[in-house]
């Protein structure tokens, strides 16, 4: 009798352990969820680095040169031309284009980009807007940019200069000579990463420390309407099974980030 009671109690515990949290997860995770210190192993998925990734004083430090590890027409005439230049593939056009491919005058250049990102990202009621320039780092070291081509100027025209992997270089500095080196970046889904990993894979981190995932989740396409104003939500992911706030790239605007950072951004220097 006593043993069967023990068995009954332990079975109940097991059932609670196995199924107890699955239903309530989505509702109970919100801005009050305690911050998670992201383990170094997860940051090490960022492979396009120029030095070891380190965590110190509450920040993770990630240094990259911003040069993509995939081919691009924007390597034309650069020191990587022989190995990384490829003509734009008009047979398999970039799905985001609204017209024909328009090679911009900038070419990929090697940079020295240093990201200092909070290791325990947390919600901030300030919700700082993203600036022009890098707003985060993707796994191959190429920076993410926001949804604008200039101050509040949409990507309407710029989009046709994105290569087959959805990136393009900007001038090195305002007023730089046409044809001079530039800062390569992604405003939208980095196709190289989602093709090599998967459409629901971890793609990088924004400056506030929250991870960015691809345009699918649970076998379904994520659209902006399913996300909050900052372009994310809190759910379990492969890397964070207990749930974490995360952004998604989507096929519709604003693509990576919405109206600012969900948390407090770190800094980037280049």
Least Å from the CB of residue 199 to Zn ion: 12
Binding residues for Zn ion (CB under 5 A): 217, 235
Which residue's CB is nearer to Zn ion, number 58 or number 154?
A: 154
- The Cα 122–Cα 259 span in angstroms is 17
**Both tokens of residue 156?**
């309407």
User: What are the strands, taking DSSP E only, across the chain?
Assistant: 54-56, 59-64, 107-108, 113-118, 136-138, 143-144, 148-150, 153-154, 167-171, 181-186, 202-206, 211-213, 216-217, 220-221, 232-235, 244-248, 267-269
CB atoms within 10 A of CB 37: 13
CB 92 within 8 A of CB 163: no
- Category of 179 on φ-ψ map: left (φ > 0), alpha (ψ -120 to 50) or beta: left
Least Å from the CB of residue 213 to Zn ion: 6
- The Cα 103–Cα 107 span in angstroms is 10
Least Å from the CB of residue 258 to Zn ion: 14
Given the DSSP bridges, would you call strands 181-186 and 232-235 parallel, antiparallel or unpaired?
unpaired
Which residue's CB is nearer to Zn ion, number 86 or number 217?
A: 217
Which residue's CB is nearer to Zn ion, number 4 or number 178?
A: 178
Which residue's CB is nearer to Zn ion, number 43 or number 145?
A: 145
Which residue's CB is nearer to Zn ion, number 122 or number 235?
A: 235
Least Å from the CB of residue 211 to Zn ion: 9
Least Å from the CB of residue 235 to Zn ion: 5
CB atoms within 10 A of CB 2: 6
Least Å from the CB of residue 250 to Zn ion: 11
Which residue's CB is nearer to Zn ion, number 103 or number 235?
A: 235
């Amino acid at each position: 009798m006593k043993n069967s009671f023990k068995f009954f109690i332990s079975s109940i515990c097991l059932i609670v352990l196995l199924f107890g949290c699955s239903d309530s997860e989505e509702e109970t995770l919100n801005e009050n969820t305690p911050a998670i210190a992201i383990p170094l192993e997860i940051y090490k998925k960022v492979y396009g680095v120029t030095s070891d990734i380190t965590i110190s004083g509450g920040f993770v430090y990630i240094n990259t040169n911003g040069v993509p590890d995939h081919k691009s027409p924007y390597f034309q005439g650069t020191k990587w031309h022989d190995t990384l230049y490829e003509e734009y593939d008009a047979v398999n056009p970039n799905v985001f284009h609204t017209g024909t491919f328009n090679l911009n005058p900038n070419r990929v250049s090697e940079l020295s980009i240093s990201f200092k990102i909070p290791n325990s990202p947390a919600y901030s009621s300030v919700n700082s807007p993203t600036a022009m320039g890098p707003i985060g780092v993707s796994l191959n070291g190429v920076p993410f940019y926001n949804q604008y081509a200039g101050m509040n100027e949409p990507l309407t025209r710029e989009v046709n200069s994105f290569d087959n992997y959805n990136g393009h270089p900007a001038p090195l500095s305002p007023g730089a000579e046409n044809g001079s080196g530039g800062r390569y970046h992604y405003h939208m889904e980095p196709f190289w990463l989602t093709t090599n990993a998967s459409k629901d894979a971890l793609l990088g981190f924004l400056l506030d420390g929250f991870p960015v995932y691809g345009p699918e989740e649970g076998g379904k396409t994520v659209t902006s309407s399913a996300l909050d104003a900052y372009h994310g939500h809190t759910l379990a992911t492969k890397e964070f099974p207990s749930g974490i706030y995360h952004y998604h790239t989507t096929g519709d605007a604003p693509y990576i980030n919405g109206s600012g950072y969900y948390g407090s951004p770190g800094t980037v220097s280049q």
